[in-house]
Structure 1
Amino acid sequence: GLSSEREGIAVSAVALQDHIIHSHQLQGLSLADPMKSRSRNTRNIYRLVNKDTVKAVIDTGLQKKSTHQKNKEDEEKEYVLDPNPPQLTLAQKLGLVEPPSLPLTAEEWTKIKQRSIQHGDSIQPCAICREEFALQPQVLLSCSHVFHKACLKAFEKFTGKKSCPLCRKKQYQTRVIHDGARLYKIKCAIRIQASWRGFVVRKWYKNLRKTVPPKDSKLRKQFFEEKVQQISSRLLSSYDINLDDFLSKIDSSIAACRDAFQQLEGKEILLSENDWEKIQMQAFRQEIVDCPICIMPLSPTAHPACVFSGTSNPFSRQTVLLSCSHLFHHSCLEAFEEFSLRVQHICPLCRSYYQKKVLKC
């Protein structure tokens, strides 16, 4: 009886030890001789190769490479990544350790996925790399957590065991889903639609600004100025102009104007008596009393009517009337003309060319 109990205890210990080795993925170790596993792995590394049996393979490009194009249904189809459960260890067969759970059914996976959707796991970035899922492969664990397929594989390889990075659940089951890719496509479509709508609205607003004048006074003025400029530019572009003929006409008109001005400068137009009477009446309305040059009175009475009366005064000096209706002493105006260096004299007040008439008071 003691021998049988001892044998059962030994078998249980070996089974538990084997289960621990399998759970920690340490199958390469050997309890009898640790060096045996190494010799097994390195037995066929340095095998000699017979050169006669080796054939050279040249890729001529004539063989057509088979391209497997998956349908959209196959790409969006969800499937379990590990459909077959792992083999039971000796400890699990003897009942020393709980066996792994059975594969989940489709209804159970639906409930787990609904729980993940309620938590918004596919909207949030991956908990391992902290990046959005985009179009990369995505896996759903039986604990309702979602990760990148490559990130989960790298995490399992780094830790050496199969446990969820968030809740630490062991021996989980994984299922490939495409919720992250679907949400990313919707997000990209929304961005494209938003950019297109913005472009349409901006184009519509530019056309509106071109046709409808604004209410602000400054902007309204600028709007009509631009419209007038556009109309004038269109008229100029539609009107065919020969520049050579146009410039020649301008030159001929300028030459004719120069000839007319030269004739006017050389020949003075004589004023008639009626013109002088009008100029005298204009000077009388101005009520000029003093000479603008010497600031002395033009007549002893200091009244402009004296200038145009027929009476004579021996003590008064001669007064001169200019065609610009200004009055001066004759002697003062002659002195001013002698002092001036111009060929044709101008009025000391209004700086215009004049004709003069001597008056007596």
Structure 2
Amino acid sequence: WRAGFAPKPNNRLMLISAAFQDHIIRSLELPNFSISDSLPRCSRKPTDSRYHQEKCVVKDKSLQKGVEQDEREYVIGKRPVTLTLAQKMGLVPCPAERLTEDQWAQVKVRSVEQGESAQPCAICREEFRLKPQVLLSCTHVFHRACLQAFERFSGKKCCPMCRRQRYETRVIHDAARLFRHQCATRIQACWRGYSVRQWYRNARKTICPKDKQLRRKFFEAKLQELNDSFVRYCHTDMEAFLSDIDHSLSSSRRVFQELERKQISEPQEDDWDRIQSQVIQRGFWDCPICLTPLHSPNLTTEAQGSQHLQPRHTALLSCSHLFHQLCLEAFESFTADSRPSCPLCRSAYHKKII
């Protein structure tokens, strides 16, 4: 037959049967059963530079470093397809040609639109993360190890999702890039949260809040901090320390009293009339020092008290309080201050004898 002689009908039928059997065995991918393997093959190596591209890429990765080389995309098992005897005889149509780079680009665009890399692997239901990822010519994406395990388990080359046979496989890194972007976003979010928390803590220590309760706590904390630092750096002699505090307080009190006295001006006649009207409205006619009735010819008859007592002069203070003149002079001589304050309201005063 090969020499140009037509085979006999029985021999041709046997040849066609053998060719179909070889094609079926090759289609089922049964190992060590192909008739075409026993036929003599040409020992010449293929001239295609992309032969065994997967092994070449692995060698290139071991020699070259960098992110660009690690993220290189390539087709797995891209080598010349060996035709079966039935395909050579024209009994079975030849397989489709390999996809070009433009066709792979279109397949990848459809896969990105469907969000295949953003979803978990359909086989193991885990995220892709940085694990090797493969894209099929049917736009579905899987873990490379999961796809190989599925092919070994099923015994044929069939897509786990759409059941398409005779697909092509391409290594991609879209999921790894998405995972790195998510990690960078989380790191930035954590850092921004940490920075905001630190700023808020510093702001709480320096800026007074507007809320009443928070404002009270803020000043309490400030006062406590001030007291702690003051006690921490004070002298070891507590008695001397407390005596210094008493001395400073008394000095401050004297300064404030002097300021109050300087600010008080002597009342005029109209002011004294107004003060007398306040005394009459109050209706209290006993001296707060000796607790005896007061007497004054300028006041109403209600203030005269008992007529059988010897009248004594009454001192009217600018704070509208009444005292016996002798009682007030005794109180002033008893106090140590150069200018005493009112026995009732403790305010500086001017007096008028009525």
Q: TM-score, normalised by structure 2?
A: 0.57
Q: Does 1:87 align with 2:79?
A: no
Per-residue CA deviation, residues 150-197 of structure 1 (Å, 9 max, x unaligned), is: 010000000010111111111111111110101110010000000000
| Structure 2 Cα separation of the partners of residues 205 and 131 of structure 1 | 39
Q: Does 1:232 align with 2:227?
A: yes
**Aligned-pair CA distance for 1:83:** 1.1
Identity, % of aligned positions: 50
Equivalent residues in 2 for 1:22-171 (5 A)? 22-29=26-33, 68=63, 70-171=65-166
Cα distance change, pair 280–12 in 1 and its aligned pair in 2 (3 A): closer
Aligned AA (2:23): H
Aligned AA (2:204): R
Conserved? CA contact 1:139–1:175, under 8 Å: yes
| Structure 2 Cα separation of the partners of residues 9 and 162 of structure 1 | 30
**Aligned-pair CA distance for 1:135:** 0.6
| Structure 2 Cα separation of the partners of residues 185 and 230 of structure 1 | 46
| Structure 2 Cα separation of the partners of residues 186 and 16 of structure 1 | 52
Conserved? CA contact 1:85–1:103, under 8 Å: no
Conserved? CA contact 2:22–2:34, under 8 Å: no
Cα distance change, pair 5–89 in 1 and its aligned pair in 2 (3 A): same
Cα distance change, pair 182–281 in 1 and its aligned pair in 2 (3 A): closer
Q: In the alignment, what sits opposite 1:17?
A: 21
User: Aligned to 1:87, what secondary structure does the other structure show?
Assistant: coil
Conserved? CA contact 2:73–2:170, under 8 Å: yes
Equivalent residues in 2 for 1:1-361 (5 A)? 4-29=8-33, 68=63, 70-239=65-234, 241-242=235-236, 245-246=237-238, 282=291
Q: In the alignment, what sits opposite 2:316?
A: none
Aligned AA (2:170): R
Aligned AA (2:140): H
Conserved? CA contact 1:125–1:132, under 8 Å: yes
Cα distance change, pair 279–95 in 1 and its aligned pair in 2 (3 A): closer
| Structure 2 Cα separation of the partners of residues 8 and 159 of structure 1 | 35
Conserved? CA contact 2:86–2:92, under 8 Å: yes
Q: In the alignment, what sits opposite 1:325?
A: none
User: Aligned to 2:8, what secondary structure does the other structure show?
Assistant: helix
| Structure 1 Cα separation of the partners of residues 288 and 73 of structure 2 | 112
Q: In the alignment, what sits opposite 1:294?
A: none
| Structure 2 Cα separation of the partners of residues 228 and 121 of structure 1 | 61
Identify unmatched segments of 5+ residues in structure 2.
1-5, 36-61, 243-286, 294-305, 310-354
| Structure 2 Cα separation of the partners of residues 107 and 280 of structure 1 | 113
Aligned AA (1:112): V
User: Aligned to 2:195, what secondary structure does the other structure show?
Assistant: helix
| Structure 2 Cα separation of the partners of residues 180 and 72 of structure 1 | 15
| Structure 2 Cα separation of the partners of residues 107 and 219 of structure 1 | 66
Per-residue CA deviation, residues 330-351 of structure 1 (Å, 9 max, x unaligned), is: xxxxxxxxxxxxxxxxxxxxxx
Aligned residues: 220
Per-residue CA deviation, residues 16-63 of structure 1 (Å, 9 max, x unaligned), is: 1111112222233599xxxxxxxxxxxxxxxxxxxxxxxxxxxxxxxx
| Structure 2 Cα separation of the partners of residues 155 and 225 of structure 1 | 69
User: Aligned to 1:130, what secondary structure does the other structure show?
Assistant: coil
Q: TM-score, normalised by structure 1?
A: 0.56
Conserved? CA contact 2:120–2:127, under 8 Å: yes
Cα distance change, pair 121–246 in 1 and its aligned pair in 2 (3 A): same
